[in-house]
Amino acid sequence: MSISVGDSVPSGTFKRKTAEGIEDISSDDLFGGKKVVFFAVPGAFTPTCSAKHLPGYVSNSAAIKDKGVDTIACMSVNDPFVMEAWGKDQGLGSEVLLLADGTGAYAKALGLELDLTGPGLGQRSQRFAMVVEDGKITHLAVEPNPGALDVSSAESVLASL
């Protein structure tokens, strides 16, 4: 069963590669006392994710933060080294925090896991976006299929803020 608007986000831990090494970021630290736009992609370096989804949030980051958002975070079921390389490939600065859900545990806790074993990608996350205010989901948009980018786009989320 997937999460819904009004639910609290589940507890969990994300990984992030920094200059000092691998850093753990708890969901409590990420969402507690903050307004966060949190979106997920099925995979770093995949076509829609790299060409449209992440770049949309980067180019709209100032407008999103002008709406009172403290953090914009992107999660993918990839390891922290892949997420770091993807950020470098995308020329990402500090606009979007890239978070690794290496085992897919957080996607599963949200009820938004996606089985892409058929095409050889394994277990992933559905493409979605949500707005979380102090740990409560106030907006949730899940794409109907992994290649779609409509309801979870930066423009759609910005319109909902």
Helix (H), strand (E) at residue 38: strand 35-41
Question: At 114, phi and psi to the nearest 5?
Answer: -140, 125
SS3 at position 138: strand
49 has catalytic annotation: yes
83: left (phi over 0), alpha (psi -120 to 50) or beta: alpha
Q: Please, what's the b/e burial string for 6-32 (b: 16 or more CB within 10 A of its CB; e: otherwise)?
A: ebebeebebbbbeeeeeeebebeebbe
Name the active-site residue from 3, 44, 49, 130. 49
Strands 136-142 and 13-18: unpaired
Which positions are catalytic?
Answer: 49
